[in-house]
Amino acid sequence: MPVITCIDDLKRLYRRRVPRMFYDYAESGSWTEQTLRDNVADFAEIRLRQKIAVDMTGRSTASAMIGEPVAMPVALAPVGLTGMQNADGEIKAARAAERFGVPFTLSTMSICSIEDVAAHVSKPFWFQIYALNDDDFNARIIGRAKAAGCSALVITVDLQILGQRHRDLKNGLSAPPKFTIPTMLNLATKWAWGLEMLRTKRRFFGNIVGHVEGVSDPSSLSSWTAEKFDPALNWDKIGKLMDLWGGKVILKGILDVEDAEKAASLGADAIVVSNHGGRQLDGALSSIRMLPGIAAAVGGRTEVWMDGGIRSGQDVLKAVALGAKGVMIGRAFVYGLGAMGEAGVTKALQLIHKELDTSMALCGETGLARVGRHNVLVPKGFLDGYC
């Protein structure tokens, strides 16, 4: 086993181990993938201010997200098809997150069901829902999440229709994979992955199959999206989902100050500044560019988090410095899961935590509550947007 020092090391192992269609699913963005690239590249434009001769003893990365104590202000984002990256992947990721002390969010489009995950953890996790055009399904799946003891509902608000992801279309993405000649040839080189999949019965969308009628192809994300996602989504419908849940709510997919104002006025406990990992509107600005303005506008009324492009603890530190109370990671933990299973998710969290702790110390801070704009150097005009 090679020495793993960063998230990119896990990514290289992940690419070798996981079938191409699922690697491409995690790695793809929409259209030209410009926003996908900007999410990562824009973090590199922000520099950290080093400070010396500061007592670094007793420092801590501990924080809280919507009132829940966390070892660091990082939550595992909802990622569809996680159970196809590694057999029973959602269960493995949830267990790793619980042991480390950070929240795990289960996607509606997971392979392991809500009930499956709940049976394998001892603490509440979060559940993510899309705004669907099926009120009965919405009510039933929210009821299932309540029965499983989920402590917060994450409503994804930026996926009324699916952004065109060229790689997924070319690969014929489905769960389980359809046996075309190109797929079979690629799967033949991923025998370790295949053996694990043979040992599990969880190969379909566990929250959907057997729980919903009227979907012609439940193996296909694109078919489900076309038939069940609600293109008529509006703020009233989001409010009704929040009322139906009746507990803590996080609205994920905010990239505009006006939308953030509306989300805060609805009483969201947190919002996530997000462009869906560059997978929806290609050409939108990166999440980190949009974060400071949104945090300044609504940070006093709701917790402002962000996701998109985070690959290190330094990225977490930069996000906190620019106004985030927390972040969500998707690809970073998926790389670990695909590379090494549950141990890989733990490794990804360890890497991010170590980088966060060390970088915070070298910036002269002993706790995240003191981190702010004084800790970073931002290029002139970086946060001004475009005319």
Active site (catalytic) residues: 276
Q: How far apart are CA 222 and CA 173, in angstroms?
A: 9
Question: Are 304 and 338 within 8 A, CB to CB?
Answer: no
Residue 288, strand partner residues: none
Closest alpha carbon to 118 in 81, 144, 84: 144
Question: Residues for the chain: how many in total?
Answer: 387
Question: Are 273 and 290 within 8 A, CB to CB?
Answer: yes
DSSP letters along 289-350, please?
Answer: HHHHHHHHHHTTTSEEEEESS--SHHHHHHHHHTT-SEEEESHHHHHHHHHHTHHHHHHHHH
Question: Are 6 and 351 within 8 A, CB to CB?
Answer: yes
DSSP letters along 3-27, please?
Answer: ---SHHHHHHHHHHHS-HHHHHHHH
Residue 306, strand partner residues: 273, 327
Q: How far apart are CA 285 and CA 269, in angstroms?
A: 24
Question: Are 295 and 323 within 8 A, CB to CB?
Answer: yes
